[in-house]
Amino acid sequence: MKRRILFISGTRADFGKQKALMQAVKNHPNFNLSIFCTGMHLMSKYGYTVTELQKAGFSDNIFHFLNQVEGESMEITLSNTIAGLSRYLCENPVDLIIIHGDRIEALAGAIVGALRNQLVGHIEGGEVSGTIDDLLRHATSKMAHIHFVASSIARQRLIQLGELEKNIFKIGSPDVDVMLSDNLPSLDEVRQRYDIKYEHYAIAILHPVTTEVHMIKKAVTTYIEVLRKSGRNYVVVYPNNDMGSEHILAAIEQLKELESFRVFPSLRFEYFLTLLKNSEFIIGNSSAGIHEAPVYGVPTIDIGSRQRNRFRYKSIRNVDFSQEQLLSAIEEATQAGRYESTTHYGKGDSAQSFIRILESQTLWETEKQKPFVDL
C-alpha cells in the first residue's frame, strides 16, 4: 500500500520551498501525494496563487480550504485552519503531514498532527529571523516529530530545543533545487510575459513586521520615497497578508502609474527566480534576500528587523529605514555587481535527500510520543 503524504501550503513562498519535494513524492511509485491548499493561495487580492499549483501539474492532488477573509486576525486564521484541517483528515487520513517554515498554516498543521497522534515533518525549522516568526517557527518545531533542516546551524538549534538528533535530517533548502535547475525560463520570456520593458532593474518586496505595526506607515513612506528618488527601475511584488499589510499596499498603489515601476500581486516561482537571478539587487525585508539572492550572488539590501538574526553573507547589507542609509546602500549594491555564490542552503539535491529519507522504514517507526532531550 502506498504511503499517503499530505503537504500544507498557504503562500507563494512556501509553495516555492516545497515544490521540488511535492514533485518527487508525486513521481514516486510508493507514495501518494495530496496538498491542503489554503491561506493567501485562495485570496484574489494576492493573485489567487492556487493557479500556480495547478500549472505545476498538481491539480488532481489539491484540496481547497479558505481559512480567512481579508482583515481577519492571525489567531482567528489559526483557529479556522485547525478546524478545517482536522475535518479534512477525518475524511482523508494520511501517513505523514509535511509543513514548512513559520506561517500560521504550518503551526496549524503541527497542532492538528500532534493532537491527532499523526506523524508530522517540519521543513526549515531551526531558523531564526527576529520577529514573531521565531515564536511560530519554534512552536511548530516542538509539535513536529521529524525535521528536515536547511543547514547545520539550524540542526544545532533544534538540538538546543530538546529535539532528538536521530529525527533531524539536513537536506538543504528545497527551493535551491529549482534555482539551480535547467528548467527556468529565459529572461526574455519573463520580460515578455510580465511586460517588463527595461533591461536593468531591481526587485522590491516589503512585508509588514507584526511586532512593529505602529511603525509601518512611517517605514513604508521612507521606503517608497527612496525607491522613487533612486532613479532606478523596479519590479515590485505585493507583501504577505500579515497585520499591517494594508499600509504597504496603499503605498504601493502610487507606484503603479510610474514608468520605472512594474507592480505585481505575485509572480510564478520560476519566473521570479529568473528575475531575481538577473536583477541588480533586491531591496526590502523578504527572506528571498537572505535565502535565495545569495545563491545567485545578487546583492541584498535588507531593511529593518524582520530578518536581523538570519544568515549573514557578504552580499547582504542590513540598514535601517533611513533615506540616507538606503540611498547609500543602493549605490553600493549597484557598484558591487555580483558576488560569489553561497552553498550555505545546499547544492540543489534536497528532493533526492528527502525521498531517500522517506524510503527508510525507520522514519515510519518514529515515536509520536516525543521526549525532551536535555543537553
Residue 299 lies in a domain: yes
Does residue 82 register a pLDDT over 80? Answer: yes
Sorting pLDDT into bands at 50, 70 and 90, what band is 160? very high
Sorting pLDDT into bands at 50, 70 and 90, what band is 211? confident
156/222 same-domain check: no
Task: Select from 183, 350, 199 the least CA-distant residue to 271.
Answer: 183
Residue 136 lies in a domain: yes
126/99 same-domain check: yes
pLDDT in tens, 295-315: 999 999 999 999 988 888 999
72/133 same-domain check: yes
pLDDT in tens, 114-126: 999 999 999 999 9
Sorting pLDDT into bands at 50, 70 and 90, what band is 97? very high
149/237 same-domain check: no
pLDDT at 308: 86
Q: Give the CA distances from residue 48 to residues 60, 83, 229, 268, 341, in Å, rounded to whole numbers and listed in that order.
A: 18, 22, 32, 11, 33
Does residue 243 register a pLDDT over 80? Answer: yes
High-pLDDT (> 70) share of the chain, %: 100
Sorting pLDDT into bands at 50, 70 and 90, what band is 359? very high
109/226 same-domain check: no
Enter the C-alpha cell of residue 340: 560569489
pLDDT at 309: 86
Task: Select from 33, 34, 42 the least CA-distant residue to 11.
Answer: 42
SS3 at position 369: coil
38/125 same-domain check: yes
pLDDT in tens, 173-192: 999 999 999 999 999 999 99
96/58 same-domain check: yes
Residue 358 lies in a domain: yes
174/253 same-domain check: no
pLDDT at 190: 98
pLDDT at 70: 85
- What CATH number does the domain containing 168 carry? 3.40.50.2000
Sorting pLDDT into bands at 50, 70 and 90, what band is 41? very high
Boundaries of domain holding 105: 3-178+347-364
Rounded to an integer, the average pLDDT of 354-363 is 97
Residue 112 lies in a domain: yes
Rounded to an integer, the average pLDDT of 257-279 is 97
Whole-prediction pTM: 0.93
Residue of 214, 247, 291, 344 marked active site: 214
Distance CA 97, CA 84 (A): 14
Distance CA 218, CA 213 (A): 10
Instruction: Tell me how many domains the chain contains.
Output: 2
pLDDT at 151: 95
46/150 same-domain check: yes
- Is 138 a residue of the active site? no
Residue 375 lies in a domain: no
Does residue 130 register a pLDDT over 80? Answer: no
Q: Give the CA distances from residue 33 to residues 30, 57, 59, 72, 80, in Å, rounded to whole numbers and listed in that order.
A: 10, 12, 11, 30, 23
124/85 same-domain check: yes
Q: What is the DSSP letter of 256?
A: T
222/323 same-domain check: yes
Does residue 90 register a pLDDT over 80? Answer: yes
Residue 235 lies in a domain: yes
Q: Cα angle at 267 between 264 and 271, to 5 degrees?
A: 130
Task: Select from 242, 181, 212, 368 the least CA-distant residue to 303.
Answer: 212
Enter the C-alpha cell of residue 168: 533531524
Residue 301 lies in a domain: yes
H or E element in which residue 5 lies: strand 3-9
